[in-house]
Amino acid sequence: MIYPTQLAPDFEAEAYHGGNKVTLRLNDFQNQWVLLFFYASDFTFV
């Protein structure tokens, strides 16, 4: 578990930006504020 005073571990994830699929790495945003927001079941068909 990560607590508010701890740094998040580095990771990479796929995302869509401007209609293109890109790979984002947390390390790409060093020295910037980052808000991580996701839907657990996004892009799934129910």
Average pLDDT, the chain: 84
Query: pLDDT tens digits, residue range 14-31?
Result: 888 898 999 999 999 999
Q: Are 12 and 25 in contact (CB under 8 A)?
A: yes
Q: Are 23 and 12 in contact (CB under 8 A)?
A: yes
**20 C-beta neighbours (distance < 10 Å), count:** 7
pTM: 0.55
Under the banding of pLDDT at 50, 70 and 90, the label for residue 1 is: confident
How deeply is 40 buried, as exposed, middle or buried, from its count of CB atoms within 10 A (0-12, 13-18, 19+)? exposed
